[in-house]
Chain A
């Protein structure tokens, strides 16, 4: 009996440390539990993120639920959108994971009726805050409420945010949002509290297909490159990364996105901008042009008001 149990454990590639915890009820949190659940040890000073492989997503919304549960987020947009299976609608102050459902349509814009049998016409994608490398929300925040954590993620400190709302239009992906009820900005924290406790973020842990993978960003990027190659060789010509360094989704000075995606269609299909930019790059041009205007008009004023009277 014990031999079979051991074999079956090995057969599904469970981390060796998992054998130290055979019971269902634990005395406390397993130290460095993330090592068991996703093979990554969480250490301050390293860069963590998500690789969301949309080709694996089955649209179960376990990530949405896990996020709401862990972060005590209230149910919002109560009702039906009337489009696809997506009644969540989008990311908001109270929804930090959003599973998009895209029913593929034919080139004429009508619903496809000639799908091969048993072939899915659905694209599903779990969207989230991208934890941008040069995060526009963070660069815009005038109070320092938005900060970069020791895990290279971007978090709003609730005891500092004064609800100015400037981070909201700054985000190129429409992620961060104000909750008018508590007057603060909210978004995915990449489960900052869980990372500090050595736990993998709730959404990634709950994802049954590993469409959401949590790990160190360089490692995830390498894994993602391989996955793209694999898919391409299997004939999925559209497979490409969104948010890889300097590539689609990480253009215009954003660097890279710590939470990046593997897509099979053009990004607009998922509601993602193909070429976002870093707003901070527009500060200097605007200020200089404005000050030059003021200086020019000031010179004009001097000439005009002082002209011919001295």
Chain B
């Protein structure tokens, strides 16, 4: 049917004719640092709230303080996080228009409502912590208790919906791996919350719980690493491997997210598990910091590398080949 050379078969990018190699997609007009910062904070806050509810069930040593720290961390989302989101709007004074509708096809709309639910319930948990002892405000305590479950559930959603936010677009890198990206973001959220809580517990000299949190971080980082490998495999398979060779791909995804944010803390926490507890405190703190930095790098890196694939027609057209269509159910 066509008299021009066809695209290469297999996983490589498209190498047939294009329209003067001009982009055939538009990249998201997001500020990658601002939106990446939001995704990071939302993940940290959401997972911290989830962990707060969990430690209250499991009752490890110092669990009350851990829960309070988790509640306090959750405030990052409604304050700084929401601020970043509004800052990134191009007509910020109209931010409330997000609340006009709910659209289940739009993760941006779903996320807005998740953030609202999370903010409301998180505020209740924090108010109970901070003001629940004030005479006359004791009624805040049962309220805070009641808010824990909704806060934890919306927190779990907040920690991972941002992956859907990216996948439910036409940007090739994000659209290629809806599941693996969600696992990666969710695991990174949990790891970052563990890291923040562990740092707080180390400061309070509660090393036993900090050690448990590090172990949990280790598990989350393991999941993140597996998801990272799955993403990479899929990206290569659909011809998007070159996205990792961009500066942001190399520095933020490979260097920041994978090496600093995953491999390094995995090594440190694993070594700490083997070593006597007292010897591993430095390593634990270092691993926690690395986890937090890596989690931020992951989000900014995925945003940047995604934009790059939208701008490169050989990759976007290669991804939009019939062989990459989802199989019919």
Residues of A within 8 A of B (CB): 83-84, 86, 89-90, 100, 102, 105, 107, 136, 139-145, 160-166, 168-178, 180, 182-184, 237-238, 240, 251-252, 265-266, 268-277, 279-283, 285-287, 289-298, 300-302, 304-306, 309-310
Contacts and interface: CB of A to CB of B under 8 A. Distances in A.
B237 interface: no
A287 to B, nearest CB: 5
Interface string B23-39: 11111111000000000
Contacts of B161: 286-287, 290
B58 interface: yes
B108 A142 contact: yes
Given A162-B98, A164-B108, A269 B321 contact: no
Contact of A291 (B88, B156, B169, B216): B156
Interface residues of B, number: 97
Contacts of A102: 19
Contacts, number: 302
A93 to B, nearest CB: 10
B104 A143 contact: no
A84 B105 contact: no
Interface of B: 1-7, 14, 16-20, 22-30, 47, 50-51, 54-55, 57-61, 63, 88-92, 94-95, 97-98, 100-101, 103-110, 112, 156-157, 159-161, 163-165, 167-171, 174-175, 178-183, 185-187, 189-190, 209, 212, 215-216, 219-220, 223, 306, 310, 313, 316-317, 320-322, 324-326
B220 to A, nearest CB: 6
Given A105-B17, A306-B59, A297 B106 contact: no
A166 B108 contact: yes
A172 B325 CA distance: 13
B54 A268 contact: no
A282 B29 contact: no
Contacts of A145: 97
Nearest to A83: B20
Contacts of A144: 97, 100-101, 103
A169 B97 CA distance: 20
Contacts of A289: 178-180, 182-183, 186
B103 A297 contact: no
B91 A162 contact: yes
Nearest to B53: A298
Given A140-B106, A169-B27, A297-B219, A290 B160 contact: yes
